[in-house]
Structures are given as C-alpha cells and as structure tokens.
Amino acid sequence: MIHPTAVIHPKAQIASGCEVGPYCVIGEHVTIGEGSKLHSHVVIDGHTTLGKRNEIFPFASIGLKSQDLKSKGGITRTIIGDDNTFREYVTIHSATNDGDATTVGSRNHILAYCHIAHDCRVGSHIIMSNVGTLAGHVTVEDHAIVGGLAAVHQFCRIGTMAIIGGCSKVVQDVPPFMLADGNPAETRTVNKVGLERNGVSAEAQEALKKCYKLLFREGLTIANALTRIESEAPPLPEVQHLVQFVRSSERGISK
C-alpha cells in the first residue's frame, strides 16, 4: 500500500493498513496510526504523531517548522488524533519552543488551504472551511466551525459550538455557543442551528439566549453581566462553561 515513488525515512513508523500515495515524503520522527491514507504529494515531517484513520489529501504539509521568527530549534511536536480529514494544501506547523506541541484532536474536517499555526490547540469535531486561518497559540474548542477565509488572531480562543462567519477577522475571543461575524468580528446571536445539531436541550438554549442578551444587549460591563447571569440563569453546564470562558478571557470577547 506504499507507492514506489514515496520517500519514507527508514526510521518512520507507519502502522498496518496505511496507504501512502505517489510522491509523498515522510520524515524520520513521524508516526502514523493504522488505517491512515495519504493521497499524493503529502509531506509529513518533524516530530509528528498522527493517530488512526486520518485521510490527507494532495499537497498538504504537516509538522514542519514553525514560521514564528522566535523559533530557536529544539524538539517541538505536532500531535494529531484519529479520524481527521485534511484536504488539499492544508498546513499544520509544529510548535515554536523546545518541548511544546501543536495539537489537533479527532474527527475534524479541515478543508482546502486551511492553516493551523504553531502552538495551536484544536479540539475535536471541528470544521474549518476553505482558507480558514489560525495564527499562533489559538485555541479552538470542540464542535466549533470556522467559516471560509476567516482569520483568527494570535492567542484568541474560539469556544465550543461557536461559529465564525466567512471572511471574518477575529481579534478577540469568540464565546462558546455564539455566532460571530464581521471585520472585526462581533458576536451577533446564539448559534441556534449548532446547538440543535449538537443536541443541546431546549432549556439550555433558552438559558443561553438570556446569557446572550445580558452580555451583549443590555449595555452592562462584562463583570456585571456575569454577576447577573450567575444569579438569574439556571446553573446548567452550558451556562457555567460560558461564564468560565468569558471570565478567563485575556484578550476580551468579541462584542
């Protein structure tokens, strides 16, 4: 299942059931889990670990050196889970500093030309549409969606089940369960469709609508809005996660 034109370092670890297509290049410190498929012209290098059943399309490159000019060498890692799809020309870079890692979870769908930069922490069940771009140190929580041509600034966080509209410029954190759009991105409403698709209860959806109004429509400071949410909204897990996310924000939230 390995094409004769593929260039694979003899120390690379490729599990059983993998397919490696024409002109792929796999480096010395790469581990690929069973059942994974590399189409053609895929480059995987650096200290990179891929889990099981990942599918990688032509001209994607994974695990190469960070583009961060502060990079001083050392061992940096790229760690990827199971059942991901990486479409054409996707780039995922290793971390910047010795001992650090760029991480991607499982069951993500990363479409063509997307970029995941150094030190990003990308969760699971995420969709990044074409040319979505994450700068360094970005965190994306589970079940989030990044629209096509959207760009996320360094150190921003995208909360669980949030959705970012296409062509948006994200310069602050996008709270979980919300829809953000624009340049710069603003939180527009609750991500109703995403909540329904992910099985969030009707009670939690109503509570999140109330949270949205207090955070973004009542003219309150963030601190006062959070105080009112904690006193007025039911203590559901979704509400508690939203409060914790907003309270821990370092860049502020997209309002």
> Within a 10 A sphere around the Cβ of 49, how many other Cβ atoms?
18
DSSP bridge pairs for 13: 31
Residue 28's pLDDT is what?
A: 98
Q: Is 119 a catalytic residue?
A: yes
Cα 142 from Cα 158, distance rounded (Å): 9
User: Which residue ranges make up each domain of the chain?
Assistant: 7-137, 196-247
Average pLDDT over the chain reads 98
Residue 57's pLDDT is what?
A: 99
Calculate mean pLDDT across residues 236-241: 98
Calculate mean pLDDT across residues 65-80: 96
Q: Among the CATH numbers 2.160.10.10, 3.40.50.10420, 3.40.190.10, 3.30.70.520, which is that of 7-137?
A: 2.160.10.10
Residue 38's pLDDT is what?
A: 98
Between CA 102 and CA 106, with CA 103 as vertex, the angle to 5 degrees is 155
Residue 159's pLDDT is what?
A: 98
User: Percentage of the chain surpassing pLDDT 70?
Assistant: 100
pTM above 0.95, yes or no: yes
Dmax (CA) of the chain? 65
The active-site residue, picked from 45, 119, 173, 181, is: 119
What is the DSSP secondary-structure string of the chain? -B-TT-EE-TT-EE-TT-EE-TT-EE-TTEEE-TT-EE-SS-EE-SEEEE-SS-EE-TT-EEEEPP--TT---S--EEEE-SS-EE-TT-EEEPPSSTT-EEEE-SS-EE-TT-EE-TT-EE-SS-EE-TT-EE-TT-EE-TT-EE-TT-EE-TT-EE-TT-EE-TT-EE-SBB-TTEEEEETTEEEEEE-HHHHHHTT--HHHHHHHHHHHHHHHTS---HHHHHHHHHHHS---HHHHHHHHHHHT-SS-B--
Residue 43's pLDDT is what?
A: 98
> pLDDT by residue (tens digit) across 34-43?
999 999 999 9
> Within a 10 A sphere around the Cβ of 217, how many other Cβ atoms?
10
Calculate mean pLDDT across residues 45-63: 98
Q: Is 219 a catalytic residue?
A: no
Banded model confidence at residue 134, pLDDT cuts 50, 70, 90: very high
Banded model confidence at residue 68, pLDDT cuts 50, 70, 90: very high
Cα 83 from Cα 31, distance rounded (Å): 15
Residue 178's pLDDT is what?
A: 98
CATH architecture of 196-247: Up-down Bundle (1.20)
Calculate mean pLDDT across residues 142-150: 98
Residue 207's pLDDT is what?
A: 98
> pLDDT by residue (tens digit) across 173-212?
999 999 999 999 999 999 999 999 999 999 999 999 999 9
Residue 148's pLDDT is what?
A: 98
Cα 97 from Cα 77, distance rounded (Å): 9
- Cβ-contact 85, 51 below 8 angstroms: no
The active-site residue, picked from 33, 136, 147, 148, is: 136
Tokens for 192, please give them: 């109703």
Calculate mean pLDDT across residues 246-254: 97
What is the DSSP secondary-structure string of 13-44? EE-TT-EE-TT-EE-TTEEE-TT-EE-SS-EE
Residue 127's pLDDT is what?
A: 98
Residue 60's pLDDT is what?
A: 98
Q: Is 136 a catalytic residue?
A: yes
The active-site residue, picked from 41, 118, 125, 153, is: 118
Cα 9 from Cα 7, distance rounded (Å): 7
